[in-house]
Structure 1
Amino acid sequence: MRKYELMYIVKTDLEEEKRNQLLNKVTGIIETNGEVENVDEWGTRKLAYEIEKLTEGYYVLINFKSTIDVPKEVERNLRISDSVIRHMIFNMEEK
């Protein structure tokens, strides 16, 4: 299994319950063929530049281990979610 780091930003006007549902959905996808090592909710922060006329976003960082196909499925789900502003998955190489 490989180590990955996922960062995604959701709209700040999203209710806490819906944010938690999205987080549970993402961690559920990861746990099908991997394991979540750490979930770090950074909270509301100012964006470096305006995205879709928004200046703030709610940041979430997830570290996980999984097979190669899991990040593709996570990315597909985040891409179709209207509440996600941006997302990025990094492959963390062990040295």
Structure 2
Amino acid sequence: MNKYELMYILKTSAEEEKRTQLLEKFKGIIETDGQVENVDEWGNRRLAYEISKTNEGYYVLVNFNASADIPKELDRNLKIADEVIRHMITRVEA
């Protein structure tokens, strides 16, 4: 199993219920063949640059352990979700 870090930014217009649903969905994908170590919700922050006429986003950082195929499935689901502005999955070197 490899260590990964997932950072994604949601639209600020997304309601809290929808944010919770997305977080649970992404955690569920990870937990199919891995485990979530930590979920850190940073909340609303100003973006470094404007994305699709948006200046703010809701940041979420997830640290997890998983096999190599989980980040691919996670990436696919993050690209499909309309509320996700940007995301990045990186492998953490031990």
The alignment's TM-score, normalised by the length of structure 1, stands at 0.98
Deviations 1:7-47 (A, max 9, x none): 00000010000000000000000000000000000000000
Which residue does 1:12 correspond to in 2? 12
Aligned-partner SS, 2:27: helix
Cα distance in 2 between the residues matched to 1:55 and 1:30: 29
Which residue does 1:76 correspond to in 2? 76
Cα distance in 2 between the residues matched to 1:10 and 1:76: 16
TM-superposed CA distance for 1:64, in Å, is 0.1
The RMSD of aligned alpha carbons is 0.3
Q: Which amino acid aligns with 1:27?
A: K
Cα distance in 2 between the residues matched to 1:66 and 1:33: 6
Cα distance in 1 between the residues matched to 2:90 and 2:48: 19
Task: Give 5+ residue unaligned stretches, structure 2.
Answer: none
1:44 matched to 2:44? The reply is yes
1:67 matched to 2:67? The reply is yes
Which residue does 2:3 correspond to in 1? 3
TM-superposed CA distance for 1:71, in Å, is 0.3
Cα distance in 2 between the residues matched to 1:80 and 1:25: 12
Over the matched positions of the two proteins, sequence identity in percent amounts to 68
Aligned residues between the structures:
94
